Amino acid sequence: MDSLALKAFMAVAEQGSFSRAADKLFLTQPAVSKRIVKLEGQLKTRLFDRIGRNVSLTVAGQHLLPKAKVILEAMEDTADELTNLSGRVGGQLRIATSHHISLHRLPAPLRRFIELYPQVELDIQFAESEVIYEGLLQGHWQLGLITLNPEPHPQLEQQAIWQDKMQFVAAPDHTLSQQTSVDLSQLSSFPALLSKTNTFTRGIVEESFAHQQLALKVAMSTNNLDTIRMMVSIGMGWSILPETLINQDIKVINTVSKPIIRQLGCAWHQQRSLSNAAKAFLELLHNT
């Protein structure tokens, strides 16, 4: 078994589709199919049932899946350890980042990293912080740039890089925007536009209101903060957004409540060996 065939197998298993796996691996569908056929030939067993457009794991495929993850992680960790011995900053660095961080925090340090370490092959994927968090637990990425979990998993290491100060906002002509001072009880009586339930950001906001035994009147939930900002600007309700997203279309509500701050930063699995590239990237983030 070679790593390319195992990666193809993992991609098809996770995506449930040869075409989506090909897109993820930046390959053609025939190339992915060829690698799967080769792997099935080596193992002398069928790994997938292909019925029409549906692809599902066979019993043998289900047995191989967790072992394939362990094999690939061990190969990657071994390569990182050998590279670390040489002191060279190179190889592949697989990271995942939230859309908000990629747009508002990452451009400058990422540009600097590329300038300093052109020999590093960057593999960057974009997803919601909670999705990345679960992916890190499963060993999908070396580093995740996310909204940090206020209650971190014991197997994950977290380092805060940025503090994201959140502001209560509403449309300029909203009733709340016209008042000189607003408390959380007043906010709770108006419709709110917030991130979806079970997100780290939503949890931080809910905890602030629950501390005063207040319930939120949520009119809409979405994890796209730009969409929330647009909905706020047309008067559909109030929200709480990072200062980096506030523009002339919305107005900060003057509140007497304690500021809400979420921590943004980097997370990784404690059992993964950080490569020289990952260590250099972390150091650069802290110094930018």
Confidence of residue 188 (pLDDT cuts 50, 70, 90): very high
| Of 231, 63, 73, 222, the residue nearest 137 (C-alpha) | 73
- Please, which residues have CB within 8 angstroms of residue 263's CB and are 6 or more apart in sequence? 147, 148, 160, 162, 163, 164
Q: Dump pLDDT digits (tens) for 227-256.
A: 999 999 999 999 999 998 999 999 999 888
Angle at 198 between CA 197 and CA 203, to 5 degrees: 90
| Of 204, 135, 199, 207, the residue nearest 166 (C-alpha) | 204
Confidence of residue 158 (pLDDT cuts 50, 70, 90): very high
Q: Which of 19, 54, 71 is the last residue of a domain?
A: 71
- Distance of alpha carbon 27 from alpha carbon 19, whole angstroms: 9
CATH number for the domain spanning 233: value is 3.40.190.10
Q: Which of 26, 49, 71 is the last residue of a domain?
A: 71
Confidence of residue 132 (pLDDT cuts 50, 70, 90): very high
Question: Which of 54-63, 79-88, 108-117 has the weakest average pLDDT?
Answer: 79-88
Domain that holds residue 226: 164-262
CATH number for the domain spanning 44: value is 1.10.10.10
pLDDT score at 75: 81
Number of structural domains found in the chain = 2
| Residue at 278: amino acid letter | A
Helices then strands (H, E): number in the chain?
A: 11, 11
Instruction: Report if residue 267 sits inside a domain.
Output: no
Q: Which of 71, 86, 110 is the last residue of a domain?
A: 71
